[in-house]
């Protein structure tokens, strides 16, 4: 799940196409995030994991190297592969974030996701209102309209909202802000499934559509203050749904 939108497309339960390499990465990465391989523990031996996953040593070692690059594991001679401290994990990596979707999350972690998203996207909205071009405005309007049409479909609505935020980041002209898209996608996924019933979830989707309409209108007008306000309201709505409507734990 490294492409933008992959996590949201999984909401429908449709299996994603995958190869052995991504399969092994996802299995080990998700197990680490869920605590099945606790921080500080040594992963099972190569032989055991090769048998469990039905893959070659080459595929397994490539997967472990990928996880090491994400800061999640560390290979130690004569010891094995140890799960790294969470402080070393790359939380801006789209796969690392996606693995948190199925895990039991504590309320502080979820709140922290929205805090960072708010800080980054406020700046993106400000810059987008100053730097956007006609084609970006056309695309923003198109995807907001798709949000309107998809209010009865959680997955399609979230995918359309992701496009609004992705294009807004592009319009900001700051390439470093693109690293926030994985974080945005996780928060949208958490929001999409949160709520006591479908009526509550649909009401949240309607509210989010309204906030994004206001956001796009402000960006088109070049009103940076209104853009930041609309973005903050959209994020606050998502935070309220994700924190109060999802079963969370406390550390």
CA–CA separation, 250 vs 107, rounded Å? Answer: 6
Residues 163 and 230 occupy one common structural domain: yes
Mean pLDDT of 67-76: 96
- Higher-pLDDT residue of 76 and 148 is 148
Give domain status of residue 240, yes or no: yes
Domains in the chain: how many in total? 2
Give domain status of residue 84, yes or no: yes
Residues 156 and 203 occupy one common structural domain: yes
- Least Cα distance to 68 among 54, 48, 51, 88 occurs for 88
Least confident of 11-20, 45-54, 86-95, 204-213: 11-20
- Higher-pLDDT residue of 249 and 4 is 4
Give domain status of residue 1, yes or no: no
Residues 110 and 215 occupy one common structural domain: yes
Residues 110 and 233 occupy one common structural domain: yes
Mean pLDDT of 19-44: 94
Residue 76, domain extent: 6-88
pLDDT in tens, 91-147: 999 999 999 998 888 888 999 999 999 999 999 999 999 999 999 999 999 999 999
CA–CA separation, 214 vs 197, rounded Å? Answer: 26
Give domain status of residue 250, yes or no: no
Give domain status of residue 95, yes or no: no
pLDDT at 249: 46
Six token digits for residue 45: 């031996």
Least confident of 19-28, 55-64, 100-109, 129-138: 100-109
Residues 137 and 162 occupy one common structural domain: yes
Residues 118 and 206 occupy one common structural domain: yes
Least confident of 3-17, 45-59, 63-77, 172-186: 3-17
pLDDT at 18: 65
Average pLDDT value for the chain: 91
pLDDT in tens, 211-248: 999 999 999 999 999 999 999 999 999 999 888 765 55
Q: Is residue 203 within 8 Å of 191, Cβ to Cβ? A: no
pLDDT band at 51 (very low <50, low <70, confident <90, very high): very high
CA–CA separation, 251 vs 249, rounded Å? Answer: 7
pLDDT in tens, 162-190: 999 999 999 999 999 988 999 999 999 99
* DSSP state at residue 76: E
Residues 176 and 117 occupy one common structural domain: yes
pLDDT at 25: 96
CATH assignment of the domain containing 222 = 1.20.120.530
Mean pLDDT of 153-168: 96
pLDDT at 34: 94
Give domain status of residue 204, yes or no: yes
Residues 48 and 112 occupy one common structural domain: no
Give domain status of residue 96, yes or no: no
pLDDT band at 149 (very low <50, low <70, confident <90, very high): very high
Residues paired with 73 in a beta bridge: 83
CA of 97: how far to CAs of 6, 26, 159, 160, 189, in Å? 12, 12, 17, 20, 11
Give domain status of residue 94, yes or no: no
Burial class for 185, CB neighbours closer than 10 Å (0-12, 13-18, 19+): buried
Domain final residue, candidates 32, 53, 88: 88
């Amino acid at each position: 799940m490294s492409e933008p939108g992959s996590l949201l497309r999984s909401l429908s339960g449709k299996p994603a196409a995958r190869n052995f390499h991504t399969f092994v990465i996802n299995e080990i990465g998700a197990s680490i995030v869920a605590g099945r391989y606790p921080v500080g523990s040594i992963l099972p031996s190569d032989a055991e994991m090769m048998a469990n996953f039905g893959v070659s040593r080459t595929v397994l070692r490539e997967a472990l190297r990928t996880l090491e690059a994400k800061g999640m594991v560390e290979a130690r001679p004569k010891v094995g592969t140890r799960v790294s401290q969470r402080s070393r994990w790359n939380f801006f990596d789209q796969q690392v974030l996606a693995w948190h979707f199925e895990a039991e999350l504590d309320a502080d972690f979820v709140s922290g996701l929205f805090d960072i998203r708010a800080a980054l996207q406020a700046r993106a909205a400000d810059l987008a209102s100053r730097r956007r071009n006609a084609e970006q405005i056309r695309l923003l309007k198109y995807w907001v309209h798709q949000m309107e049409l998809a209010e009865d479909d959680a997955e399609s609505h979230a995918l359309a909202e992701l496009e609004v935020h992705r294009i807004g980041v592009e319009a900001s002209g700051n390439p470093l802000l693109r690293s926030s898209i994985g974080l945005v996608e996780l928060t949208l996924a958490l929001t999409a499934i949160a709520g006591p019933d479908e009526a509550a979830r649909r009401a949240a989707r309607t509210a989010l559509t309204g906030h994004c309409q206001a956001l796009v209108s402000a960006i088109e007008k070049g009103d940076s203050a209104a853009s930041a306000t609309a973005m903050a309201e959209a994020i606050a709505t998502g935070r309220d749904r994700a924190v109060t409507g999802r079963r969370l734990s406390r550390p």
